[in-house]
Amino acid sequence: MDAAVKIRYSFQPGPSQLHPQVEPLLQRALAEGLFSRYHRDPVWKSLFARAQLAVAEHLGLPEGWLVFFVSSATEAWQVLVDATAEQASLHLTQGAFGERWYGLQAAASGFAYRVAISPEQPWPSQRESIAQKYASVGFVGIVQVETSVGATLPEWRFLREAFPRALTAVDATSSLGAISLPWEQVDIVFASVQKGFGLPPGLAVVALGPEARREMRELPALRYNSLSRLIQRAEAHEPPFTPNLIGLYLLAEGLPQRPPVQGGEATLRARADRLYKALEERGFPPLQRQEYRSPTVLALRWPSAEIGQKLRSRAEAEGLYLGWGYGEQKDLFFRIANFPALPDAAFEELLEVLQL
């Protein structure tokens, strides 16, 4: 892309469009000299606690959930692998990121199992088979929205019934801050902030439910960023390392000014439905069958790689930055982020450009 062309709207599913709050909040923090303060002084300890509370309230976390922060969702994978390697685990995967998480688990544990969800088969039959075979596992890992191919599971309320002994962890990197989760069905949720939260990359949110918090608080701290140490320090409203102060500040100051996730979710899902319909009518069929389509990362096919390159260049000339495809067939499809930081007007412009 020509460096002189300014990106006005980014539909790339990570890093994604920054929320309009970011610039004025950063200007205020710089004017106050906040990022030159010691990260353990009273000002930052208060901001850490406020960031924890802001995330909990924005997401609608139930009472007893604990929020803390790491550098990325990828680090959260490793933290959880270290904490669960001795347990039988199951990863339900739909694409590249779920496979990577499972790969880390399998490298550390001889008790790791994986089921790749077939996009061609109806979900109910797959759900029943999984529940019958893996009911006794102690840990379940799921990606809520598989960014690589714009896929999600059709329903989540089967988890407690299917895996009664398991702690369930969800990588919600391409969904947290945009759509909700059935909190009573899961125990651990984590996400990097550069997608649904609309913030600069370099920080991830982790939320632990009461059962996971009890089970993992006293685990041996075999590494510095062990889960037990992260939990104990978060309970004291302190990080175990120098954190991403910019990200913490933007969460603490920005989220209370936004509507909660549940307040905007219906509108975001309705927008996704309109986009899928409008783009399919224009000749861009969705990559996923309807029951597996994600509302936050839309994946659609180009008629050809050549047409895709032409339309991508046309969009970028207008300051509209489309998401590339992913993997071996990345030139044959494209992705569109549908996150709260993007206004409806951005999608109207994009639909005008994506004309065959």
Please tell me the distance from the alpha carbon of residue 273 to that of residue 314, in angstroms, as a whole number. 24
Please tell me the distance from the alpha carbon of residue 21 to that of residue 19, in angstroms, as a whole number. 5
DSSP string for 218-281: TS---STT-HHHHHHHHHTT--SS---HHHHHHHHHHGGGSPPHHHHHHHHHHHHHHHHHHHHH
Which residue spans within the chain are E strands per DSSP?
Answer: 9-10, 66-70, 89-93, 112-116, 139-143, 145-146, 151-152, 167-171, 188-192, 204-208, 297-301, 320-321, 333-337
Q: Tell me, what DSSP letter sits at residue 329?
A: G
Domain ranges of the chain: 9-20+259-353, 22-257
Q: Tell me, what DSSP letter sits at residue 10?
A: E
- pLDDT for 223 equals 87
pTM: 0.96
Q: Which residues contact 31 (CB under 8 A, 6 or more apart)?
A: none
Cβ atoms of residues 286 and 299 within 8 Å: yes
Cβ atoms of residues 288 and 119 within 8 Å: yes
DSSP string for 118-185: PTTS-HHHHHHHHHHHHTT-SEEEEESEETTTTEE-S--TTHHHH-TT-EEEEE-TTTTTTS---GGG
Q: What token pair was written down for 80?
A: 């959880």
- pLDDT by 10s per residue, the chain, length 356: 445 578 999 999 999 999 999 999 999 999 999 999 988 889 999 999 999 999 999 999 999 999 999 999 999 999 999 999 999 999 999 999 999 999 999 999 999 999 999 999 999 989 999 999 999 999 999 999 999 999 999 998 889 999 999 999 999 999 999 999 999 999 999 999 999 999 999 999 999 999 999 999 999 888 899 999 999 999 999 999 999 999 999 999 999 999 999 999 999 999 999 999 999 999 999 999 999 999 999 999 999 999 999 999 999 999 999 999 999 999 999 999 999 999 999 999 999 999 98
Q: What residue type is assigned to position 339 of the chain?
A: F
Please tell me the distance from the alpha carbon of residue 214 to that of residue 285, in angstroms, as a whole number. 46
Q: At what angle do helices 227-235 and 73-84 cross, to 10 degrees?
A: 110
Could you say which architecture CATH assigns to the domain 9-20+259-353?
Alpha-Beta Complex (3.90)
Would you tell me how many other CB atoms lie within 10 Å of the CB of residue 126? 17
Tokens 């599971």 correspond to 153
Closest CA to 191 of 160, 228, 145: 145
- pLDDT for 221 equals 87
- pLDDT for 3 equals 56
- pLDDT for 5 equals 73
- pLDDT for 1 equals 45
Could you say which architecture CATH assigns to the domain 22-257?
3-Layer(aba) Sandwich (3.40)
Strand 333-337 versus strand 297-301 pairing type: antiparallel
Strand 112-116 versus strand 139-143 pairing type: unpaired
Cβ atoms of residues 339 and 173 within 8 Å: no
- pLDDT for 4 equals 58
Would you tell me how many other CB atoms lie within 10 Å of the CB of residue 31? 8
Please tell me the distance from the alpha carbon of residue 29 to that of residue 249, in angstroms, as a whole number. 8
Integer CA distances (angstroms), 221 to 130, 228, 238, in order: 33, 6, 17
